[in-house]
Structure formats: C-alpha cells, structure tokens
Chains A and B, each alone.
Chain A
Amino acid sequence: MCGLFFARKMMSFSQPFSSFSPLLAVNTAASSLFENVSFLSFLTDSFLVAAIVLGLILWIARKATTNMQLVPHPAQNFFEMVVEFFYGFIESIVGPKVAPRAFPLLTTLFIFILISNWFGLIPGVGTIGWGEGNGFGVLHEVEKPLFRPATADLNMTLGMALVVFAFWIYITVRETGVWGFIKHTFGPKGGLKGFMGAVMVVIFFFVGIIEVISVLLRNVTLPMRLYGNIFAGENVLHTMSSMLDGSGPVVSFLGSVLLPLPFYFMELLVGALQAMVFTLLTAVYIKLSTTHDEEGHGDAHH
C-alpha cells in the first residue's frame, strides 16, 4: 500500500505489462477504507459511494422541491415528470389501493440503484485508490480502490433485498391479514369438494411450503442478480481498459480509452435495466401477495 494514487491506466502510458489476471480485475468484496480501525470497518469504498449518492439525491431533491410553484421551474418540472411516471407505472402493477404505500419505496429503489450503477461508469471509480507504487502518483495495480459502485457490493444489494422483504411482509399482512396471508399461501385453490378437495389441501400445503422457500430465496436472487451484473460490468470495463497494456505508451493509452468505450454504452443500458428489474420484481412480488384469490393468482415467480 502506497497511499492514495491514480491507477496506471489513468496517469501513465509507459508502465510495463501488468501481471494480474483479467479475470481478477475487481475484488469480489468491497474494501474497508480504515482496515486498521475495527469500529470503522463498515466504512468501505462502496459505502463512500453510497454516501455520495445519498448526498447527490438529497441535493437534487432539494433543488427540485425548493420554491415549488404551480407553474413549475425546470428542475421541479423534471422531478414531477419522474414522480408522475413512476406513480402511474407502479399503480398499473400493484393497483391503485397499494400504490400510495408502495410507490415511495419502489421509486427510491429505482433511483438509488440507477444512480449507483451509473456512478460506477464515472472515470476514477475503481481506478483511484491504494496499491503497489510504481513511481510518484502512479500505481502498478489498484489493490484497494477509493470508490466502488454501491451496487457492486453484496452488502448493499443484500441490505436492499432485506428491506424489500420486510416491506413485503408488512404490506402483505396489512392488506390481507395474517390469516389471509397463510390462507393465500397454503390454502387450496379451485374450489374442489369431497375427496379431490382433500387431495388438493395436501397438494397446496406442499405448494405453500415451496412458495415459502421461493419467497425466502428472493433474498438471495434479488441481491445476487444485481450484484452479479454490476460486478461483472466493472470487471468487463477493467479488463477492456487493460487489454493492450504493455503494447507501448500510445497503443496502451488508446486501448485503455477506445476498447472499453462500447462497453460503457452497454453498461449504461445494463445499469438502467438492472434498476428496472429489481424494482419491477419487487412490484410484482407485492402485486402477487396483495391480490385476492378471486382476482387470479399467477405464480410468475415460481
């Protein structure tokens, strides 16, 4: 560790070919900024980015909602458009009754995930940090980056999934009641009577157990999907940036700029897509658990 420096790709064109494997371009875990201080171990590079994103969102929100007028100013107009779009979108999925409660969390999820995902595309994220020195201000390899996309940390994606899970339980119990939730999960459907009805009770009890498992597994699938996509994107960008390292200063520089360029556009798309997927799945989970049986029950998540 040689302190805070820019990575080789950002500052120098004349470094020798790196010996690291492209498959290990980015650590799977976020790095603590204060490793030696145990009670500050939670302060990671991804936490720092999450805090910056929080500040950014706070600034945008304050800017958009300060001095609000019936005839809106541009920032207010933009934010109102976003809010209206998301409210209508969420309402169309979860229904008008649940929408007022689900809207704040779902929209927060989308905005936060989107900004966090795209934050990883800002030059310097993942390439500024601590590592083995190779001259003044230049690192041979960034071993501990200063910034890491918040969504490329499983702590964050898992945390969001747990929040979503807690909210899902709250809104489901609130809408259907505890007995309604149990009946909805384990109760037989189809209205069969007699012997077939008894068979259906047994079958749907096991179906309910499977559903409970699938619900619990959402706490794995949701965070891993998001983390995996963003982490993979970070890896792709780092790998493409260092593909031509050691091919001479000019080629190395051009390669580090041009090769990852198409993937930046792809990552823009992936970032938006993953934010939408996380939000959409959460909305669908809420919709499925708060919809009454007579309205139909599509177990799309099975």
Chain B
Amino acid sequence: MHPILADAGSQFGVTPAKLIAQVVTFGLVYFVLNRYAFGPVTAMLEARRKRIADGESKLEKIARDLAAAEENARIIVGKADAESNRLIKEAGEGAVLLAEKKRQEAITEANGIIAKSREAAKLEQEQLTVQLKREFGRMVVDATTRVTGKVLNNDDQERINRETAAQVSL
C-alpha cells in the first residue's frame, strides 16, 4: 500500500477487518429493508394500485352501462308513449264507431217498432172496418126488414150487405 494511503488509513482507523465488518453490516441493512420492507410495501402498493385501476375501470363500465340503460329506458318510454297514443287514438275511434253503430241499431230498432205499430194499427183499423161494415149491413138488413115487413132470406141479406158495403167507403 502507498505510504500516504497507509498513513491516512492509520489516522482514520481504516483497516480491512473493520471495513469488511461495516460493509457486511450495511449489506444486512440492505437485505433487511429489501426483504422485509420494500418488497412487501411495493407489492402492497402495486396491489392497491391495481385495485384502484380495477375500481376505476369498473366505475367506467358502470357509467357506460348506466348511460346505455338510460338510453334504453328512454327508447322504451318513447315506444310506450307512442303505443299509448296509438291505443288512445284507436280507442277513441272505436268508441265513435261503436256509438254510431249503436245509434244505427237504435234507429233500425225504432223504425222496426214504428213499422210494427203501423201494421198493428192498420190491421186493427181493417178489423174495425170489417166489423163496422158487418154491423152496418146488419143494421141495414134490420131496417129493410122493418120497412118492407118482409123477412129477408140469406141471399137477400147477403146481397144487401154486399151492396151496403160497396156504398160505404171507409
């Protein structure tokens, strides 16, 4: 060793044994920190970083899903709105048609009732007319019998009734 270095080493107490001992001590400190501190801590930090990144990506996915769901809901609501409007319109149109149909049915039914009533009245009138004519014929026959004093046979009565009926225009 150079005398200057040897002198400096002696003055500062540097010896190979002490130097190696201190290097070993420092090496142990490095080993301890690297093994028991930096390794686990960096692994934990990495795990946390990964967890945060996963959380962020999940959050983004949730936001995307939410936006898609909102869009989907908006489309569904739009469709439902259009469908309900169509149904309301159809229901309105159906109601108008049904009312018209019912009105026509009522008119038809009323016309039928009126026609039947007319027919019944006409029939009743005819029956009364026939009855009246018959009664009037009978009265004419009675009057003739009383005026002439002649008993009228069936042919006479028939002829008088026919002629009377022909004379009476009801």
Q: How far is the CA of A60 from the CA of B37 in the complex (A)?
A: 9
Instruction: Assess the A30–B47 pair: CB atoms within 8 A.
Output: no
Instruction: Assess the B32–A112 pair: CB atoms within 8 A.
Output: no
Q: How far is the CB of B42 from chain A (nearest CB, A)?
A: 7
Once A42-B17, A153-B13, A154-B13 are accepted as A-B contacts, the answer to whether A53 and B29 lie under 8 Å apart by CB is yes
A177 at the B interface (CB under 8 A)? no
Once A54-B29, A64-B37 are accepted as A-B contacts, the answer to whether A87 and B42 lie under 8 Å apart by CB is yes
Q: How far is the CB of A47 from chain B (nearest CB, A)?
A: 6
Which residues A70-85 have CB closer than 8 A to chain B?
Answer: 70, 72, 76, 79-80, 83-84
Measured as residues with beta carbon below 8 angstroms from the partner, the interface class of chain B is 20 to 34
Q: How far is the CB of B57 from chain A (nearest CB, A)?
A: 17
Which residues B21-49 have CB closer than 8 A to chain A?
Answer: 21-23, 25-30, 32-34, 36-38, 40-42, 44-45, 47-48
Q: How far is the CA of A68 from the CA of B51 in the complex (A)?
A: 15
Once A62-B36, A104-B33 are accepted as A-B contacts, the answer to whether A155 and B26 lie under 8 Å apart by CB is no
Q: How far is the CB of B20 from chain A (nearest CB, A)?
A: 7
Instruction: Assess the B11–A28 pair: CB atoms within 8 A.
Output: yes
Instruction: Assess the A83–B19 pair: CB atoms within 8 A.
Output: no
Q: How far is the CB of A146 from chain B (nearest CB, A)?
A: 16
Partner of A44, one of B18, B34, B42: B18
Q: How far is the CB of B35 from chain A (nearest CB, A)?
A: 8
Contacts of B11 in A (CB 8 A): 28-29
Contacts of B17 in A (CB 8 A): 41-42
Q: How far is the CA of A70 from the CA of B52 in the complex (A)?
A: 11
Instruction: Assess the B37–A79 pair: CB atoms within 8 A.
Output: yes
Once A80-B41, A155-B14 are accepted as A-B contacts, the answer to whether A150 and B33 lie under 8 Å apart by CB is no
B84 at the A interface (CB under 8 A)? no
Question: Which residue of the partner chain B has the closest CB to A49?
Answer: B25
Instruction: Assess the A154–B29 pair: CB atoms within 8 A.
Output: no
Contact with B along A104-118 (1 / 0, CB 8 A): 110110011000000
Question: Which of B17, B36, B37 has most chain A Cβ within 10 Å?
Answer: B37
Instruction: Assess the B37–A163 pair: CB atoms within 8 A.
Output: no
Contacts of B44 in A (CB 8 A): 68, 70, 72, 76, 80
Instruction: Assess the A159–B26 pair: CB atoms within 8 A.
Output: yes
Contacts of A12 in B (CB 8 A): none
Contact with B along A50-72 (1 / 0, CB 8 A): 11011001101110110010101
Partner of B23, one of A41, A44, A163: A163
Instruction: Assess the B45–A155 pair: CB atoms within 8 A.
Output: no
Which residues A244-301 have CB closer than 8 A to chain B?
Answer: none
A158 at the B interface (CB under 8 A)? yes
A6 at the B interface (CB under 8 A)? no
Question: Which residue of the partner chain B has the closest CB to A55?
Answer: B32
Instruction: Assess the A160–B20 pair: CB atoms within 8 A.
Output: no
Question: Which of A44, A57, A108 has most chain B Cβ within 10 Å?
Answer: A108
Q: How far is the CA of A57 from the CA of B36 in the complex (A)?
A: 10
Q: How far is the CA of A65 from the CA of B51 in the complex (A)?
A: 19
Q: How far is the CB of A156 from chain B (nearest CB, A)?
A: 4
3 closest Cβ pairs, A-B complex: A29-B13, A42-B21, A61-B37
30 A-B pairs with C-beta separation under 8 A: A44-B13, A47-B21, A47-B22, A47-B25, A50-B25, A51-B25, A54-B29, A62-B36, A64-B41, A70-B48, A70-B51, A76-B44, A83-B41, A83-B45, A104-B30, A104-B33, A108-B29, A111-B29, A112-B26, A112-B29, A150-B22, A153-B18, A155-B13, A155-B14, A155-B21, A158-B19, A159-B19, A159-B23, A160-B26, A163-B30
Q: Given contacts A42-B15, A104-B34, A108-B30, list 15 more A-B pairs with CB under 8 A.
A: A42-B17, A54-B29, A58-B32, A61-B33, A70-B48, A76-B41, A79-B41, A83-B37, A83-B45, A87-B42, A111-B29, A112-B26, A156-B25, A158-B19, A163-B23
Interface residues in chain A, defined as those with a beta carbon under 8 Å from any beta carbon in chain B: 27-30, 41-44, 46-47, 50-51, 53-54, 57-58, 60-62, 64-65, 68, 70, 72, 76, 79-80, 83-84, 87, 103-105, 107-108, 111-112, 150, 153-156, 158-160, 162-163, 227
